[in-house]
């Protein structure tokens, strides 16, 4: 099963573990629109990073759709984490597929990568956005995540390294299966 693909001189790699331990330039947070913290990976990032992150989030002006609308992304410092930046993005809540969930999930990945490039990050780590509390089906989400990152790397040739950090062995196996045909393509491109 595929653990990585190479695109435009960059690499997309899979790993299993706790994203708060990642030493990439940026880690992505699967946040909610308030940016004021929550459960899951969001809670873990704020706990490990300390209060500096939420203090910086609170300074981002709140609009009618919160501080960060669904599909958008904003960067802050990373407090006590080893990463330099946390990129907070808001994935869609899965409501059956008729509410532009797939497009919004792809936007969350794309906008996170744009923030990473703006901050000149050479490496960025993503959790599996929307597939926990927001209940996005994991297979569909993995396919969208991999395609969005692959297309971005082909166009921008940056960041040099993108990591998907899956929390469970089951989730890792799904992503490996999804990456397999893309890995075959990347050998022949
Ligand atoms: N490292 C990597 N992945 C993790 C970690 C970790 N430390 N902890 C959990 N995951 P979720 P969502 C995985 O629910 O679905 C929050 O309350 C988890 O197993 O964190 O986008 C926010 O404030 C799952 O595979 O994010 C929002 O309200 C994946 O991360 C809401 O949840 C995403 O699960 C966002 O829901």
79 contacts 52 by C-beta, under 8 angstroms: yes
Task: Tell me the CATH architecture of domain 4-181.
Answer: 3-Layer(aba) Sandwich (3.40)
- In the residue annotation, 42 being an active-site residue is answered as yes
**Using CA atoms in the order 162, 37, 44, 91, what is the torsion angle rounded to 10 degrees?**
-40
Element (H, E) at 89: strand 85-89
Distance 172 CA to ligand 1 centre (A): 14
Burial of 97 (0-12, 13-18, 19+ CB in 10 A): exposed
Nearest to 129 by CA among 120, 121, 138: 138
Number of other CB atoms surrounding residue 117 within 10 Å: 16
pLDDT tens per residue across span 77-127: 999 999 999 999 999 999 999 999 999 999 999 999 999 999 999 999 999
Q: Is the CB of 49 under 6 A from ligand 1?
A: no
Q: Is the entire prediction scored with pTM above 0.85?
A: yes
Q: Domain boundaries in the chain?
A: 4-181
Q: Is the CB of 167 under 6 A from ligand 1?
A: yes
Options 18, 25, 42, 171, the catalytic residue: 42
Distance 40 CA to ligand 1 centre (A): 4
pLDDT tens per residue across span 152-178: 999 999 999 999 999 999 999 999 999
């Amino acid at each position: 099963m595929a653990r990585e693909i190479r695109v435009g001189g960059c690499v997309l790699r899979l790993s299993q573990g706790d994203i708060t331990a990642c030493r990439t330039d940026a880690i992505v947070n699967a946040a909610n629109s308030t940016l004021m913290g929550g459960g899951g990976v969001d809670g873990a990032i704020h706990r490990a990073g300390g209060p500096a992150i939420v203090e910086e989030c609170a300074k981002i002006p709140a609009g009618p759709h919160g501080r960060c609308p669904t599909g958008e992304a904003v960067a802050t410092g990373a407090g006590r984490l080893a990463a330099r930046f946390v990129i907070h993005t808001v994935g869609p809540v899965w409501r059956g597929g008729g509410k532009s969930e797939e497009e919004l999930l792809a936007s969350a990945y794309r906008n996170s990568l744009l923030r990473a490039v703006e901050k000149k990050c050479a490496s960025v780590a993503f959790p599996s956005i929307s597939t926990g509390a927001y209940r996005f089906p994991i297979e569909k989400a993995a396919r969208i995540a991999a395609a969005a990152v692959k297309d971005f790397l082909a166009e921008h040739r940056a960041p040099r390294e993108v990591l998907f950090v899956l929390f469970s062995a089951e989730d890792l196996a799904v992503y490996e299966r999804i990456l397999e045909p893309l890995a075959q393509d990347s050998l022949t491109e």
